[in-house]
Amino acid sequence: MIDTTTDFKSNFNFSLLEDESKTLLEDKAIETGFFNCRTANECIDAAKNQPIPKKLFSSLIVEGELIICVADTGVGKSIYAVQIANEISKTAKVLYLDLELSDKQFQNRYSENYENEYKFNENFFRVVFKRRYEMPNNVSYEDYFIDSLKVLITRTGSTIVIIDNMTRLISTDSDKASTAKPLMDRLNDLKFDFNLTMVLLEHTKKTDPSRPIQLNDLQGSKMKANFSDAVFTIGRSVKDKNLRYVKQLKVRSSEFEFDSDNIIVYEVIKENSFLQLKFIDYGNENDHLKQLTDNDKENRYEKIIELKSHGLSNIQIGKQLGISEGAIRKQLKKTI
């Protein structure tokens, strides 16, 4: 076996490190490999020349960030995303990649039985896939997608990009860490290169309606959450089929404004030909969750024991029942 450590040391020129160290002491700055190194004070001085990020849609959408909106299928992610785009388009150009709905389906949502259509701001650009397209030879789906998006950003002058949804960004499974990290890296590069604010729509895993939505409920790799600036979710309320609530799961620019104790409660409604989540009030997430009866708890406990007897791991059981691995462990302690 080759001693790679010895081989590396024997071939590495440590005098380069010494030279770079001297440069750092003399100039107080150095760039090497991945990194740009400055003193903390220099970082703050550089930041002084940058504009203070604006809140574009309350504290959910902050200028210059990459944000994920995560929710279950059919909850209203697209409805809320269009609502966000419509509001921001009053002051900025928005590029909305609608990779789900047809033009006719979109018209239906924003009209009264295909008449009296809602009039959007001209700053709102909606993007769909061409019915037929031919990719250049030796170009991957991902490269073609990003390159096409760059052209749209340049030609429209858009500073806000909303992508509905993340599954259409790449040709392979975006849930694996091996694909999620390169994807998030490319999106962050795009954000910095064009000074964008980006909103990505993503699905949750199957969740237990009796417990609060958590960051770990984001479908797929944690790389998506790790490389995003903020994450918020839309949940269903058990109080009424048309009630929804919005809650922040991750923030970087400020403190949590909309946490479990201060969710935003909405009603799904069409008003003036505009399908939307209409603000109702602020509330507590627990008030909108399913309350388990003693019978529900017993049935769930029995199901956990049954799945465990079939050889499933705690993680596998949790995924199947929509509850955390920790909750499974607590339940199994009853059998000890």
pLDDT in tens, 182-238: 889 999 999 999 999 999 999 887 777 888 998 888 876 678 889 999 999 999 999
329-332 contact pairs (CB < 8 A, 24+): 331/300, 331/301, 331/304, 332/304, 332/305, 332/308
pLDDT classification of 3: cutoffs 50, 70, 90: very low
The pLDDT of residue 307 is above 70: yes
Residue burial 241-259, b: 16+ Cβ < 10 Å; e: rest: eebbbbbbbbbeeeeeebe
pLDDT in tens, 34-75: 899 999 999 999 999 988 999 999 999 999 999 999 999 999
Helix (H, G, I), strand (E, B) or coil at 206: coil
Query: What is the per-residue pLDDT for 4?
Result: 44
Higher-confidence position of 189 and 131: 189
The pLDDT of residue 162 is above 70: yes
The pLDDT of residue 278 is above 80: yes
Q: How many CB atoms lie within 10 A of CB 274?
A: 19
Token pair of 265 as six digits: 């409660």
pLDDT classification of 19: cutoffs 50, 70, 90: low
Higher-confidence position of 149 and 316: 149
The per-residue DSSP string of 53-81 comes to PPEEETBTEETT-EEEEEE-TTSSHHHHH
As a whole number of angstroms, the distance between CA 9 and CA 11 comes to 5
Cα–chain center distance at 49: 29
Quick one: what percent of the chain has pLDDT higher than 90? 57
Q: How many CB atoms lie within 10 A of CB 212?
A: 18
Average model confidence (pLDDT) across the chain = 86
Helix (H, G, I), strand (E, B) or coil at 333: helix
The pLDDT of residue 2 is above 50: no
Start-end of H helices in 92-176: 103-109, 141-156
Q: What is the pTM of this model?
A: 0.79
Fold exhibited by the domain 55-288: Rossmann fold (3.40.50)
The answer to whether 85 and 163 are in contact (CB under 8 A) is: no
Query: What is the per-residue pLDDT for 318?
Result: 75
- Contact residues for 135 (Cβ-Cβ < 8 A; gap 6+): 141, 144
The answer to whether 163 and 95 are in contact (CB under 8 A) is: no
The pLDDT of residue 76 is above 70: yes
Q: Which residue has 């050889």 as its token pair?
A: 311
Query: What is the per-residue pLDDT for 168?
Result: 81
Q: Which residue has 């929804």 as its token pair?
A: 244
273-276 contact pairs (CB < 8 A, 24+): 273/110, 273/111, 273/112, 273/116, 273/117, 273/118, 274/86, 274/110, 274/118, 275/79, 275/82, 275/109, 275/110, 276/79, 276/83
The pLDDT of residue 8 is above 50: no
Query: What is the per-residue pLDDT for 268?
Result: 97
Query: What is the per-residue pLDDT for 14?
Result: 47
Query: What is the per-residue pLDDT for 27?
Result: 57
Flag the least confident range among 93-107, 207-221, 279-293: 207-221
pLDDT in tens, 242-266: 999 999 999 998 889 999 999 999 9
The answer to whether 141 and 171 are in contact (CB under 8 A) is: yes
As a whole number of angstroms, the distance between CA 201 and CA 69 comes to 5
- Contact residues for 15 (Cβ-Cβ < 8 A; gap 6+): none
Higher-confidence position of 270 and 327: 270
